[in-house]
């Protein structure tokens, strides 16, 4: 499982990109979003892209901020199609 950092800004997205690229495979990649306190467009579109690549992603334990950001941007159905408990 890859954990998203508390501040998911552009530099966090850049830092996380190679790790996710490496880990994406045929089965959904588990991402822990419990620590997210702030999230920006860069990270969101990274998640959108990841969710549409190979097996996609599965978000675990999304924080309130994370869920709110997805609701605000109407990306909830795209990114959190497979929300794990």
Partner 1 sequence: MTEDDIQQIFFVECEEALEATETGLAACREGTHDGETINAIFRAVHSIKGGAGAFGHTALAAYTHGFENLLGEIREGKVPLEPVLVDLLLLALDCLRDHVEAARGRGNPPDDADLLARLEAAQAGGSGLAAEVAAPAPPPAPASAFDDLDSLLDELSAPAPAPAPPAPESWLVHIRPHAGAMTKGSEPLLWLRELTDLGGTCELCDISAVPTFERLAVEEGYLGWTFRMPGDVARESVAEIFDFVGDEVALAYEPDAMPPPRVAAPVPAAAARAISATTDVSQPAAASVDPAASAAAPPPVAAATAAPPPAGGAATQSVRIDLKKLDMLIDGVGELVIAQAMLAQRLTNENLAHIEELALIDGLVRDIQEHAMAFRAQPISSVFGRVPRLLRELGTSTGKHVKLEVAGETTELDKTVIERLSEPMTHLIRNAVDHGIEPPEERRAAGKDPEGTLTLSAEQKAGRIIIRIADDGRGIDRERVLAKAIANGLVAPEAQLTDDDINQLIFAPGFSTAATVSNISGRGVGMDVVKQNVKELGGRITIESVPGKGTTFALALPLTLAISDGMIVQVGDQSLVIPLTHVIESLRPTPADVKGMGTRAQMLNARGTFVPIVPLGVMTGANDAVCNPCEGVLVLVETEGHGRAALLVDAIADQRQFVIKALDAHYRQIDSVAGATILGNGKVALIVDVDFIASSAARNHTAVPLAAAA
CA distances from 51 to 27, 75 (A): 11, 11
Q: Which of residues 1-40 bind partner 1 (CB under 8 A)?
A: 9-10, 13-14, 17, 20-21, 24, 39-40
Look up residue 74 and give its two tokens: 């109407």
Min. distance of Cβ 5 from partner 1 in angstroms? 14
d(CA 70, CA 48): 11
Min. distance of Cβ 17 from partner 1 in angstroms? 6
d(CA 79, CA 49): 9
Residues that bind partner 1 (CB under 8 A): 9-10, 13-14, 17, 20-21, 24, 39-42, 44-46, 48-50, 52-54, 69, 72-75, 78
């Amino acid at each position: 499982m890859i954990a998203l950092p508390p501040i998911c800004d552009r530099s966090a997205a850049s830092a996380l990109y190679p790790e996710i690229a490496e880990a994406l495979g045929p089965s959904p990649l588990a991402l822990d979003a419990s620590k997210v306190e702030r999230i920006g467009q860069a990270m969101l579109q990274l998640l959108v892209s990841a969710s549409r690549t190979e097996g996609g992603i599965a978000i675990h334990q999304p924080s309130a901020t994370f869920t709110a950001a997805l609701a605000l941007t109407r990306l909830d159905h795209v990114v959190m199609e497979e929300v794990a408990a």
